[in-house]
Amino acid sequence: MKSEIEKQIPARVVAAFGDLAIGMSSEAQSRIFMLAEELVKAVWIRKIYAALPADKTTVDEHFLDQELEQFLNEAVEESHKRFAAIAESVRKRKVPGLP
């Protein structure tokens, strides 16, 4: 069920994005994780609804948990790549307060 998979997002974000928050203050880490979680949710929802048939089938009727889990895996991976690119750009500019 979508809501059960959705409950996994915060822990998955912390695990996947922890490498990008190394050396940052706890406040900065919290902000990174919050923004990453929002991005992962948005990408995940986009993937789900893009794959739904046009006949207005509900998510629970159409997808197995494994499919929703796979969409989440893809969303985490895509979001991490975006954040990593942003983090690299910030590091190159040597923004004060960031490692």
Q: How confident is the prediction for the chain on average, in pLDDT? A: 86
Q: How many CA within 13 A on the CB side of residue 91?
A: 12
Could you tell me if residue 99 is inside a domain?
no
Domain that holds residue 27: 2-93
User: Does the pLDDT at position 97 exceed 70?
Assistant: no
In a domain, 98, yes or no: no
What pLDDT shows up at residue 57? 67
Q: How confident is the model at residue 88 (pLDDT cuts 50, 70, 90)?
A: confident
Q: What is the pTM for the complete model shown?
A: 0.82
Q: Of 29, 31, 53, 33, nearest to 41 (Cα)?
A: 33
Interval 17-50: pLDDT, tens:
999 888 888 998 899 999 999 999 999 999 988 8
How many domains would you assign to the chain? 1
Tell whether 14 is covered by a domain.
Answer: yes
